[in-house]
Structure 1
Amino acid sequence: MSVDKKQFMHNDIRLTAGELAVLWSQYQADTMVICVLKHFEAKLEDPDIRPVLEFAIEKALNHIKVIREIFNSDKYPIPIRFNDSDVNVDAPRLFSDVFLAMYLRHMAMLGMTAGAIAVGMCARSDVSIIIMDIMADAVELHDKARKLLLVKGLYIRSPALSTPDKVEFVSKQSFLTGFFGEKRSLTAMEIAHLFFNGSTNTLGKALMMGFAQVAGSPDVKDFMQRGKNISSKHIKLLSDTLIKEDLPAPMTCESTVTDSTTAPFSDELMVFHTNIMIAQGLGNYSKAIAVSQRRDIGLLYARLLPEIGLYAEDGLKIMIENQWMEEPPQANNRDAIVKKS
């Protein structure tokens, strides 16, 4: 980040709820990402991936630095979150270099999505510039990871469609149907989201497989195993929808997980990481519903959402029961204040 943030500091303007939310969440996520990438860095064999990995680590460290400066300037408590005690760089590799290449692109997409929302929640110039820089870093990381995957022949492209002869307009209400009778072909938007959500689930399934193998707590191990099973179910439903339309489904990536049973990460980090992936999945499915005009496709996502929501709740329960969950920024409890006075 080349911009001098000090000239934009507004110590007389308090951070808003929106600004606190995005800075606090970004700080937590970046401390987690650094731990995960440090282990990947220690085990990496493919020299072509190293520059992209080092770029991701450098940017995450910089994000933490500038967010810490904002919190210190505003006398706001620095979140604790993750550190070297949450990663064992000497543990055997849990995922292959191929998984890492796909993981870097996935995390960049997560950052771009979060950044697009975060930018609109910030009014203070210093915070706004920081969030725009973070989003720009995510865009650049995605571009580097995309090019890397293309060169390696690992980029999973969504299906290509035939070029129509002319522009046509929808003339029948049957365009929206999907439960009974003849169904229209899937639109490009519907295909894109089915394929994208299938792809993210394949990566999530591989992540859950690895975490289940190395988790120390039986509760965490069961939680990860359940996540793997949910991902498998969703992959099948999303893939079957594409296959029924004579369209290719995303390839799986279970082979990118090794047979190691030695934990490179703490149970706390793995549950936190899973919760982030769940939140992304909820958002992805919600967006897919909004753009899927065929009723059966929208209903498919609507059926899957509650299952993910319940799984997310179980993840939070594990965090709370183990006292792993830091309290996020929140409003004052006025009733409690009155009782103390």
Structure 2
Amino acid sequence: MEDKTNIRLTAAEMSSLWAQFINDTLAVCVNTYFLEKVEDEEVRPIIESTLNVAKSNISVMSEMFKKENFPIPVGFSDEDVHHQASRLFSDTFVLMYLRQMSILAMAASGAALGLVTRSDIVTFHKNVLKEGVNLQDRTRELMLKQGTYIRPPYISIPDKVDFVEKQQFLAGFFGDKRALTSVEITHLFINVQTNSIGKVLMMGFAQTAKNEEVKQFLLRGKKIAQKHIELFSKTLTRNDIPAPMSWDSAVTDSTSNVFSDKLVMFHVSAMIAAGIGNYGMAMAASPRRDIGLKYASLIPEISLYAEDGANIMIKHGWMEEPPQADDHEKLAKS
């Protein structure tokens, strides 16, 4: 019987495995540190499980890469985390951070499953998705138990089904503005939360970064995140919708170096990319013109910030290249 796995990797399969490998090596570094510093015995097993899943994924992917004669990515290693460093984040924030990482894992694996075709790669990404859902369930349940889970806002249940009859539904700058839709509220809420998590991470990373250029980049990112939090929160509160609380107190006063600047820059860049994607989805889902244009005006700002981060990584030799297509014109000239 023909071995259905003996098929060349597509570009989509290469990119999904490559990205997953890099992210899992980062997850090993971060969760190893979290595990060494955790004090809450209810949070500890969740960190242990997340760490074990990342290690298992790396083992599976390494075998896939060897089978395909695909160079195993460098990613991150024990050299990128300083185990003797002091505690940097509270256990409550670690739990919230892991919940956010589970959301990103579910999104990435879901997108991959829509593109990969080889049976072994499909099975792998299904398992990544399953573990992402499991992590989401465990973090949500514990946060609900500990009273730290912030639910999205409540609104009244509609009396009846309605259809839009006037262009006023799209208005937002002049005249009466309609109330926010449940979809618009959801995206505003999510973007306040993700910026809050990003702000806390950059606060902690800036305190402990070694390179001054990296430190200034992170402080700039913290200001951008704070500005966006205020913009989205103001939009909610002006419409009598509560905004999520801040997590500024989640960072300790430690200044001892925890993670390498290379790891920090990659992590922040990955979260910026996810943020740009969130804004794009929110813009598409927000018919009210003022809200859609608010997102549209913010995307260039964070895109330029992301480009500056990429330039720092290139300058220091920290940016690992993803798989690329052959440059046939260059090959012909050589």
TM-score class, shorter-chain normalisation, is over 0.9
Amino acid at match of 1:170: V
Secondary structure of the corresponding residue to residue 252 of structure 1? coil
- Distance (whole Å) between structure 2 residues aligned to residue 165 and residue 319 of structure 1: 54
Asked if residue 195 in structure 1 is aligned to residue 180 in structure 2, the reply is no
In the other structure, the counterpart of 2:56 is 62
Does structure 2 retain, via aligned residues, the 8 Å contact 1:9–1:126?
no
Q: Deviations over 1:25-57 (max 9, x none)?
A: 000011001101111100000001011111111
Find the counterpart in structure 2 of residue 268 from structure 1. Answer: 262
Query: Is contact 2:150-2:244 (8 Å) kept?
Result: yes
Q: Distance in 2 between matches of 1:207 and 1:160?
A: 28
Amino acid at match of 1:54: E
Contact 1:28 1:79 in 2 (8 A): yes
Counterpart check, 1:83 vs 2:108: no
Could you tell me whether the CA contact under 8 Å between 1:43 and 1:93 is conserved in 2? yes
Partner of residue 129 from structure 2, selected from 104, 123, 135: 135
Tell me how far 1:13 sits from its aligned partner: 1.2
Residues 222-245 of structure 1: CA deviation (Å, up to 9, x unaligned): 110011000000000000000100
Partners in 2 of 1:281 and 1:77 — Cα distance? 30
Aligned runs of 1:84-233 on 2, under 5 Å? Answer: 84-233=78-227
Mapping of residues 271-286 of structure 1, within 5 Å: 271-286=265-280
- 2:229 is matched with 235
State TM-score, norm by structure 2: 0.98
Asked whether the 8 Å contact 2:5–2:118 carries over to 1, the reply is: no
Whether the 8 Å CA contact 1:177–1:295 is kept in 2: the answer is: yes
Q: Displacement of 1:165 after TM fit? A: 2.1
What CA distance in whole angstroms lies between the structure 1 residues aligned with 2:104 and 2:158? Answer: 33
Matches of 1:8 and 1:179 in 2, distance apart? Answer: 63
Deviation at 1:11, TM superposition (A): 5.5
Aligned with 1:232: secondary structure?
Answer: helix
TM-score scaled by length of structure 1: 0.96
Structure 2 CA distance for partners of 1:315 and 1:9, relative to 1, 3 Å: farther
Aligned equivalent of 1:72, options 66, 73, 80: 66
Counterpart amino acid of 1:24?
W
**In the aligned structure 2, how far is the partner of 1:12 from the partner of 1:86?**
35
Structure 2: tracts of 5 or more residues without a match: none
- Which runs of 5 or more residues in structure 1 are unaligned? 1-6
Question: Counterpart in 1 of 2:249?
Answer: 255
- Give the Cα–Cα distance (whole angstroms) in 2 for the partners of residues 244 and 205 of structure 1: 23
Write out aligned runs for 1:313-332 (5 A): 313-332=307-326
d(CA) in 1 for partners of 2:331 and 2:248?
Answer: 52
- 1:8 and 1:125 in contact (8 A); partners too: no
Distance 1:224 1:8 in 2: 52
Cα distance change of structure 1 residues 124 and 210 upon mapping to structure 2, 3 Å threshold: same
- Count of residue pairs brought into register by the alignment: 334
Aligned-partner SS, 1:151: helix
Native 8 Å contact 1:94 1:257 kept in 2: yes
Q: Give the SS at the match of 2:72.
A: coil
Contact 2:189 2:244 in 1 (8 A): yes
The alignment-based identity, stated in percent, is 51
Deviations 1:154-198 (A, max 9, x none): 111111011222222221111111111000000000000000100
User: 2:8: which partner in 1?
Assistant: 14
Q: Quickly say closer, same or farther: Cα 1:196–1:332, change in 2 above 3 A.
A: same
Question: Match for 1:233: what amino acid?
Answer: K
* 1:159 counterpart letter in structure 2: P
Does the Cα contact within 8 Å between 1:242 and 1:249 map onto a contact in 2? yes
- SS in structure 1 at match of 2:133: helix
Distance (whole Å) between structure 2 residues aligned to residue 137 and residue 163 of structure 1: 33
- Cα distance in 2 for partners of 1:313, 1:10 equals 41
Instruction: Check conservation: 2:5, 2:119, Cα contact below 8 A.
Output: no
Q: CA RMSD in A?
A: 1.2
Select between 155-164 and 26-35 the one with higher mean Cα deviation: 155-164
Between the aligned partners of 1:304 and 1:42, the Cα distance in structure 2 is 38
Q: Residue 4 of structure 1 corresponds to which residue in structure 2? A: none
Q: Deviations over 1:70-92 (max 9, x none)?
A: 11111100001100000011100
Letter of the structure 2 residue corresponding to residue 206 of structure 1: V
For 2:113 and 2:125, the matched residues in 1 are separated by 6
Q: For 1:68, give the aligned amino acid.
A: S
